[in-house]
Copies of this chain bind each other. A is one copy, B any other.
Amino acid sequence: MRHFNSIAKQYKAVFLDSYGVLKNHKGLIEGVEDTISFLRDEGILLRVLTNDASRSQAQQAEVFADLGLTNIKKEEIITSGMLARQFLENKITEGKIGYLGTENSAEYILQSGLQKIPARDINLDDADDITAFVFLDDEGFDWNFDINTTVNFLRRKNVPVIVANTDKYYPVSKNDVAVATGGIAELVQNMLEKEFIEFGKPDSQMFMHAYEHLLEEEPDIHRYEILMVGDTLHTDILGGNKFGLKTMLVFSGNTRKENAELQISATGIIPDYICGSIVE
């Protein structure tokens, strides 16, 4: 039996990071369908936890399907964008919501019946009706012009600011990355010296959301009966450890095997298991 499977068998549920666990820059990691099938056959529940606010659950599931991974249900996908959306629905009940990101991400995250306005359309001298601002995505806007507009809007008006994905960067090829929403939000935060409301791993809220969702399906499950699998110490493993899950670091994404020991010892973030990937 594959090493991963033999460990997973000891748990009632598995939480999987998306990038670096199910897929990487080349596409789907070969063999993950089999691993998912194995989990299904063993009756092991699963959820995918991803720091992403650019696509809805349905769109995420479609992307997996297009890559050839057809046995992930859209309800099983938990994104940081969902937490941002929940927050907005709870707390922002009037006015317009400003944002940085694509129209698609705005469509999805901000579907709370409120009007939305992209940063580029904000009139700094007439912005009293904007009641919140959201960092959604690193695409869909002119960085120079729209980041400066965002800074100046937030200097003038004190509204809740939400970061729908705290990742600083994301991989775009074997060697290269791109600045992500969380990196841009951090730049603005540093300029303003204000504290934004951030969603995404390693924050507990992400794990809690997935856990609560799981409880509806399996009310008796305990945290230590769940295995969190991720490729990044600082998000997946730190967050999973803190929430009380068992954690597994894999080498199919951001962390390389030859650096793992050193990074674990340098950061003090210690996974319960280490495994090449979920297909080994």
Determine whether the beta carbon of B264 is less than 8 Å from that of A262: no
Which A residues from 131 to 176 make CB contacts under 8 A with B? 138, 142-144, 147-148, 151-152, 154-156, 158-161, 168-169, 175-176
Determine whether the beta carbon of B147 is less than 8 Å from that of A197: no
Determine whether the beta carbon of B223 is less than 8 Å from that of A268: no
- A153's nearest neighbour on chain B, judged by CB, is B176
The majority secondary structure among interface residues of chain A is helix
Task: Please encode chain A, from 200 to 217, with 1 for each CB lying within 8 Å of some chain B CB and 0 for all others.
Answer: 000111001000000000
How far is A132 from B143 in the complex, measured between Cα atoms in Å? 25
**Identical subunits present:** 4
In the complex, chain B residues whose CB is within 8 Å of the CB of A86: 244
| Interface-side segment among A31-39, A51-59, A188-196 | A188-196
Tell me, yes or no, whether A269 is within 8 Å of chain B by CB: yes
Tell me, yes or no, whether A229 is within 8 Å of chain B by CB: no
In the complex, chain B residues whose CB is within 8 Å of the CB of A158: 264-265, 268, 270
| Interface-side segment among A3-11, A68-76, A114-122, A178-186 | A178-186
Tell me, yes or no, whether A224 is within 8 Å of chain B by CB: yes
| A87/B242 contact (C-beta < 8 A), A175-B155, A175-B156, A191-B179 known | yes
- Nearest-Cβ distance from residue A145 to partner chain B, whole angstroms: 9
B155, B223, B241: the one within 8 Å of A197 (CB): B241
